[in-house]
Amino acid sequence: MFLTEEDYKSVCDEFEMEQLCANTSERLTAEQAAIEQICSYTRHRYDMQAAFAAQGEKRNPFLVQCAVNITLWLMIHRLPQSMGHERRECLYKDSIQWLRDVQSSKASPDLPTYTGTGGETDAHNPVRYGSMPPNKYDY
């Protein structure tokens, strides 16, 4: 999987980790949902399959934090009395805002782009350029 339990320790204390990791299958399901939510914002331009296949130090650190924040938001109901709800909500909204900035090209993460069959990079870039032949206005 893309995320490890160590990734959660930067934003969780021991009690939260114990509660959240008690059932590994629920955590993995929440991670898959978080990854799909991230991909829904970024897959049009970035090769997210390659980004999420990265391991260890090769992973994008902000993508890791974004995935952790969204996963924890999806699992907040497991904590007693929705403990830390406001903090998780703030981190979740920050992550979603970053994804929207990436989607609208206001942020440029270091993620792999699609490579076309001819070797060109960024093959799915929606920006096209060129011009029409000049109009001479001969009537």
pLDDT per residue as tens digits for the range 26-74:
888 889 999 999 999 988 888 899 999 999 889 999 999 999 999 988 8
Query: Could you read off the pLDDT of 117-138 as tens digits, one per residue?
Result: 776 666 556 565 677 787 888 7
**Structure tokens given for 74:** 């999806």
Query: What's the pTM value of the predicted model, to 2 decimals?
Result: 0.78
Distance between CA atoms of 125 and 93, rounded to whole angstroms?
26
